[in-house]
Amino acid sequence: MRRIRIVVAYDGTEFHGWQVQPGLPTVQGWLEKVAAEIEGAPVKVHGSGRTDAGVHALGQVAAFSIRNPIPCSNLRKAMNRLLPRAIRVLEASEAAQDFHPRYHAHSKTYEYRIWREEVCPPHRRLYLCHFPYPLHEERMMELAPLFEGEHDFSAFAAADERDELGGSKVRRIFESRMRREGAELVFRVRGSGFLKHMVRMMAGALVEAGKGNLRREEFQARLEPGFAGKAGPAMPASGLFLVSVEYES
pLDDT tens digits, residue range 13-22?
A: 999 999 999 9
The per-residue pLDDT for 229 is 79
* Fold: same for 2-95 and 106-247: yes
Q: Name the CATH code of domain 2-95 (choices 3.40.50.1110, 3.30.70.580, 3.40.50.2000, 3.30.930.10).
A: 3.30.70.580
Query: Closest Cα partner for 143 from 214, 52, 81, 60?
Result: 214
d(CA 145, CA 139): 11
Instruction: Give catalytic residues, as residue numbers.
Output: 52
pLDDT surpassing 80 at residue 162? no
Residue 164 burial by Cβ neighbours in a 10 Å radius (0-12, 13-18, 19+): exposed
* Residue ranges of domains in the chain: 2-95, 106-247
Helices (H), the chain: 27-39, 72-82, 137-143, 198-210, 216-221
Using an 8 Å Cβ cutoff, are 137 and 180 in contact? yes
d(CA 27, CA 13): 11
The per-residue pLDDT for 228 is 79
Q: Spell out the residues 6+ positions from residue 196 whose beta carbon is closer than 8 angstroms to its own.
A: 50, 52, 157, 158, 159, 160
pLDDT surpassing 80 at residue 186? yes
pLDDT surpassing 80 at residue 161? no
> What's the fold here for domain 106-247?
Alpha-Beta Plaits (3.30.70)
pTM of this prediction? Answer: 0.94
Pick the range with the lowest mean pLDDT from 68-72, 91-95, 245-249.
245-249
